[in-house]
Amino acid sequence: MLLVPIVLLALLLGFAAHRASVCAVRAVAEAAHARTLYMLASMVKSSLWVMLVLAAVLWQAPGALAGFGGWALTGGAVLGGLAFGFGAGINGACAYSTMARLVDGEGGMLATIAGFALGIAAFLALNDAGWLARPSQAPAALPALVETAAGTTQAALLLPLALLALVAAWEIRRLWRRRPAGSGLRALLLAPQYRLSTAALLIGLAAALLAFLAGPSGYSATFGLLIEAGLGLRDPPAAARWLVLAAVLAGMALSTLQRGSFRPDWRPRRAWLRNLLGGGFMGLGVALTPGGNDALILYGLPGLSPHALPALAAMLLGIAVGLALARLLFGFRMRVLCRDDLFVSDGPGPRQSSPSAAAGSGSSAA
């Protein structure tokens, strides 16, 4: 019976991420070229929404996330973040946007996925040789902090949670007031483009509820486990995990089909080599950290996992280096423009266009 809400929440997550064009690579490119932080701010907001929901539920039911753990802060975890970011920068797309561009019909993302599988295989070979170690689990701090705050009513712990709840209430009110005049919920849901803050709200709420129903697992990490299972090196992940991965993809596919932005482009080209190379480093990073930007933003940071912040910082640095190398070696550049909490365009580059232009109008953004 839990499979139905799991699928619906994952569909919503994928749909919202696609409608807002969320991408960690775009966030770094936006900061570098436009000197704005709309995309990065939306990712931080997603993490805070997840944290708020997790804390609220744990306050009432301390054992609700008994299996919610984190990962140890090791050199391998930071190296994994750096490798994933480097690969994502070369690829021009992170875990979110690789999937989104794939369902939009961009064949180069198939090369990214092939490279991802090769990166996982490379990690396994290096692990067997004793050169790289698998990530080790460690307790996440959020469940313990919430339990302590609930049991002792310490002001130092209660105040941050109360402030977070107030900011969340203000954000909901702000988004509702900024909606297009006369728009109902159906019109807002099917708007051709979502504001980055709206997507952050929907992604955060969906991811938090999925953590309770299916466990805190990013879909990039799930894909890595599926590759290992395909190689016969482990049992397949639990059905709920790969179901989340499939439903997120389906949500993105529903978005592109309903919006009419599907543009198939399967003609092989030299740029696919860049995607293949980038995907390889992304796969290696997912195995080391573990998980990509999705796992860090939606579960690592909100759960206060020891590895999350250093690994994410390394990932953002890796993206910047990867983008610079992609420009130097492949002539690929991203000049991301966001305005008024909306993604506008990627600037010059292959298959880079404004989602609002593809949909016909950005004025009806939710």
CA atoms lying within 13 Å on the CB side of residue 7 = 8
Angle between helices 155-177 and 196-214 (to 10 degrees): 130
- Residue 157 pLDDT exceeds 70: no
Q: What is the pLDDT of residue 126?
A: 95
CA dist., res. 209 & res. 6, Å (int): 8
Please, which pLDDT band fits residue 233 given cuts at 50, 70 and 90? Answer: confident
What is the CA angle 249-252-253, rounded to 5?
A: 85
Buried b (16+ CB within 10 A) or exposed e, 214-227: bbbbbbbbbbbbbb
Which has more confidence, 155 or 308? Answer: 308
Q: What is the pLDDT of residue 361?
A: 36
CA dist., res. 61 & res. 58, Å (int): 5
Q: Which long-range contacts (CB under 8 A, 24 or more apart) does 238-243 make?
A: 238/214, 239/3, 240/2, 240/3, 240/6, 240/213, 240/214, 240/215, 241/214, 241/215, 241/217, 243/3, 243/6, 243/7, 243/10, 243/214
Which has more confidence, 269 or 200? Answer: 200
**Residue 138, beta-bridge partner list:** 70
- Of 285, 323, 325, 330, which is closest to residue 118 (Cα–Cα)? 285
Q: What is the pLDDT of residue 190?
A: 87
- Of 72, 73, 82, which is closest to residue 285 (Cα–Cα)? 82
CA dist., res. 239 & res. 244, Å (int): 9
Do residues 350 and 267 lie in contact, with contact meaning Cβ atoms separated by under 8 Å?
no
CA 223: distance to chain centroid?
13
CA-to-CA dists, residue 321 to 4, 83, 128, 190, 278, angstroms: 41, 10, 29, 37, 12
Least confident of 58-67, 113-122, 233-242, 295-304: 58-67
Q: 137 φ, ψ to 5°?
A: -75, 155
- Residue 45 pLDDT exceeds 90: yes
Do residues 255 and 148 lie in contact, with contact meaning Cβ atoms separated by under 8 Å?
no
- Residue 355 pLDDT exceeds 70: no
Q: What is the pLDDT of residue 352?
A: 43
Averaged pLDDT, 335-346: 91
For residue range 72-118, list pLDDT tens digits in order. Answer: 999 999 999 999 999 999 999 999 899 999 999 999 999 999 999 99
Averaged pLDDT, 113-142: 93
Averaged pLDDT, 164-185: 86
- Residue 354 pLDDT exceeds 60: no
- Of 26, 55, 83, which is closest to residue 144 (Cα–Cα)? 55
Euclidean distance between the first and final Cα of the chain, in Å? 31
Residues in the chain: 366
- Residue 155 pLDDT exceeds 90: no
Please, which pLDDT band fits residue 12 given cuts at 50, 70 and 90? Answer: very high
Domain residues of the chain, as ranges?
A: 3-357
